[in-house]
Amino acid sequence: MISPGVRLRALLAGDGIVVAPGAYDALTARLVERAGFGAVYLSGAGVSYTHLARPDLGLVTRDEMIARASAITEAVDLPVLADGDTGFGNALNVRSTVRAYERAGLAGIQLEDQTFPKRCGHLAGKEVVAAEEMAGKIRAAADARRDASFVIVARTDAIATHGLDEALRRLRLYAAAGADVLFADGPTTLAELAAIPPALPLPAMANMVEGGRTPALTAAQLRGLGYRLVIFPNSLVRLFARQGAALLDALRTDGTTTGARERMLSFDELNALLGTAEVLAAGRRYAGERDPG
């Protein structure tokens, strides 16, 4: 059986850019799979938004991330890269986190060099740990993985705190420590975005946050700049929140959801997405019943 890490690495080695939409639960991951994408990104911010109804300020625990990750990897046949925040502690905690993420069936982990509690990369007020401390975490992550193909994404938030040159220096240090993909979050200009991939010895990852600090580019434009992976971490949750609010406003006003029916999955479409027929057929088979089909 081909491991999730091997599958993600194969995508990264291809000619195009890997587009990994953000999912925050098994259902949204299945939507990503059904749409034909090759990989899923499990967003820590998305879990905080949907599980806690709280901002991305380091409030989600490792166990909460693992529970979501396990549900997602069970639901879809795609490699899943998951946000690991700061590793949920020091280098020893990182070792344990990597092992737990591997057991959850993930293809890789993203680790960042912020202090704890961290915050969304597009919020002001971030702080970063010493580069050497983060390099130690990356070494710990590389040593801890049981599958050498498990992907380690090293993220720096130093553009906001120390400038682009320091961010690039840090990422080169993290590459030497054992990272597989490098991620400088929060570039604020097209020039900064363009300067990152050619300055790095490993594949570069980009983060597209609608309305965030970084200019919005298409996947093709990012590939032209040299990026090999791009995440759209919370596009789905933001869309669903707006659409859900609109439906609830209409229900409160009209006393019915009829006006929104055309924008909703039908009962049959929802069951097709969930695989209801397959689950029922399996139940009949194990019960010794004849499949009516």
Task: Please write the tens of the pLDDT for every residue from 77-113.
Answer: 999 999 999 999 999 999 999 999 999 999 999 999 9
Residue with tokens 């097209």: 190
φ/ψ (deg, to 5) at 6:
-60, -40
How high is the pLDDT of residue 201?
97
Task: State how far the Cα of 88 lies from the Cα of 267, in Å rounded to an integer.
Answer: 40
How high is the pLDDT of residue 293?
59
Mean pLDDT of 172-200: 97
State the Cα torsion 267-272-17-181 to the nearest 10°.
Answer: 100
How high is the pLDDT of residue 1?
82
Mean pLDDT of 64-82: 97
H/E stretch holding 81: strand 80-83
Q: What percent of the chain has pLDDT over 70?
A: 98
pLDDT at 258 over 70: yes
Q: pTM value?
A: 0.92
Alpha helices in the chain (DSSP H): 4-12, 26-34, 44-47, 62-75, 91-103, 131-144, 158-162, 164-177, 190-195, 219-225, 235-254, 267-274, 276-286
State pLDDT tens for residues 1-40.
899 999 999 999 999 999 999 999 999 999 999 999 999 9
Mean pLDDT of 262-273: 93
DSSP state of 56: S
Cβ(94)–Cβ(137) under 8 Å? yes
How high is the pLDDT of residue 292?
63
Cβ(11)–Cβ(39) under 8 Å? yes
State pLDDT tens for residues 189-214.
999 999 999 999 999 999 999 988 99
Which of 70, 16, 57, 33 minimizes the C-alpha distance to 218? 16
- Catalogue all structural domains in the chain, each as residue range(s) with its CATH number: 4-234 (3.20.20.60), 241-286 (no CATH)
How high is the pLDDT of residue 250?
94
Q: What type of residue sits at position 183?
A: F
Q: What type of residue sits at position 80?
A: V
How high is the pLDDT of residue 287?
87
pLDDT at 50 over 70: yes
Cβ(192)–Cβ(159) under 8 Å? yes
How high is the pLDDT of residue 291?
64
Residue 150 banded pLDDT, cuts 50, 70, 90: very high
How high is the pLDDT of residue 48?
94
Task: State how far the Cα of 110 lies from the Cα of 113, in Å rounded to an integer.
Answer: 10
Task: State how far the Cα of 178 lies from the Cα of 50, in Å rounded to an integer.
Answer: 33
pLDDT at 131 over 90: yes
Which of 95, 113, 213 minimizes the C-alpha distance to 155? 113
Q: Which two tokens stand for residue 47?
A: 């879990």
Q: What percent of the chain has pLDDT over 90?
A: 88
> The dihedral of CA 32, 33, 38, 41: what is its sign?
positive
Residue 117 banded pLDDT, cuts 50, 70, 90: confident
